[in-house]
Amino acid sequence: MIVLSLAALPLGVLGDLKSRRAVIAFGVGLWSVCTALGAVVRSFWQLLVVRSLVGVGEAGYGPAAQALIADFYRGRRRAFAIGVYSVGMAFGGVVGIWLGGVLAIRYGWRWAFVVMGAPGLVLAVLASRLRDPARRPPAPLIPTVRAWLERGVPQAARVAAPLVVLTVAGALASSILDLFQQLPPNLDTAVFGVAVSAGIVWTVFRLVPIAVRRTTEAGDVAATAFGDFVHAAATVLRTPTLIWIFLGGALVTFAVNGLIAWAPSFMQRTHDLSVAAVGRAFGVWALAGGALGALFGGRVGDRLLVHWSGGRVLVSGAGFVLGGPVCVGLLLVDELRIFVPLLFTTFFLYTWYNGPLSAVILDVVPGAVRASVLGAYVLFSHLAGDAIAPPLVGYLSDRIGLRPAMLLLPTAGALGGLLILIALTTVGKDMARVRT
């Protein structure tokens, strides 16, 4: 989550400057490969590296994908379109919890990484064929692949060879050292870390001559990228609506992703359910509520926008204000027959914001920096929100119990919803500023 947050802004800028289609394809391909690589790790450090790279892939996908959707769907259809996009994310997350539990029980956790990662490589190829209305259409697939194989792969392989070789060597050495019990603890982790660090340094030194040969081009791109960073930051600071959206978004992200992160453990400890049962009970009802909530919120937000500029803001914030008491009830009940409808209702209300909130951000910023500002939102909301939620709930759980600790989540969500609703006072002026 931390790596995702840090990578979102620069990859969003890259999508605005170059190609959103290419950034999306890169993101899908990277997270698919690194997810599958989770099946072959031999130490915590190796798992940490591949999972961090999954975060880079997700960072490349999210802002660029939503900016691309905004180019296709304008006006009153935008929130619903992004809501449909968010249903795919919800579906994948819930199926991952359910299918991951089934695979872990039957075949072991390593196979879960392979099954979840490998199919994404096909989607990466398909993503590279997306039509970008703001830029040239992609070249024919066969010539693109041929050029990539003939020029792109050899050049990338030459530059990245030290990193690849030293990473593999470090992984092998770490695995061998892990077999010896009498060695100092964490020696295998240290060896792998040194090898990767050396590979990164060596690769950077190999890139210097390339950068020198392309001084003019590199300078132009760097200057444009820096200008886009500044433009995105200035856009956020001079747009009051974005300030309230960013602050409220951090709190609602804290609530939603903290709930998702701790729900399986909560159901196992409180309701004594197995991993597979958690996947079935939590997955089906959370998916149903989340999918319907995202579609409902997007549709209602778009319809209200026809008559009122604050329609999407109202839907984004109201879901968390109304959902707070329902989520409290979800955490306090002991009977599963009551727990299930509360679970459905909580996710229904907590996903209203998925389409409208992103649409509000896209409505109040110029098209040229949409992915950049979305990247800035991801950076802020995740670092100030759900990167904090799981460890904080865990810390409190060790001291006061899991159920009282998780009550912090609906409280934060309700407060975040109220902050978002403050943007009702500013969104009309900010939308008018962009139109003019």
Instruction: Judge whether residue 297 has pLDDT over 50.
Output: yes
Contact 370, 239 (CB under 8 A): no
Max Cα–Cα distance, the chain, nearest Å: 72
Please give the Cα distance from 327 to 412 (Å, whole number): 11
The closest of 113, 99, 107, 116 to 40, measured between CA atoms, is: 113
21 pLDDT higher than 70: yes
Q: Sign of the CA dihedral 75, 15, 374, 91?
A: positive
* Res 436 pLDDT > 70: no
Q: Contact 54/31 with Cβ under 8 angstroms? A: yes
Count of CB atoms situated within 10 Å of the CB of 115:
17
Is the overall model pTM greater than 0.85, yes or no? Answer: no
Other CB atoms within a 10 A radius of the CB of residue 44 amount to: 12
Please say if the pLDDT value at position 431 is more than 80. Answer: yes
Q: Output the six-digit token pair for 168.
A: 């593999």
* Average model confidence (pLDDT) across the chain: 79
How many other C-beta atoms can be found within 10 angstroms of the C-beta atom of residue 128?
21
Single-letter residue type at 263? A
Q: Are 195 and 173 in contact (CB under 8 A)?
A: yes
pLDDT in tens, 264-282: 788 878 877 766 666 666 6
Which amino acid does the sequence have at 183?
L
Q: What Rg, from alpha-carbon coordinates, does the chain have? A: 23
pLDDT band at residue 260, thresholds of 50, 70 and 90? confident
The end-to-end CA distance of the chain, in Å, is: 37
Domains of the chain: 139-213 (no CATH), 231-435 (1.20.1250.20)
C-alpha span between 148 and 238 (Å, rounded): 42
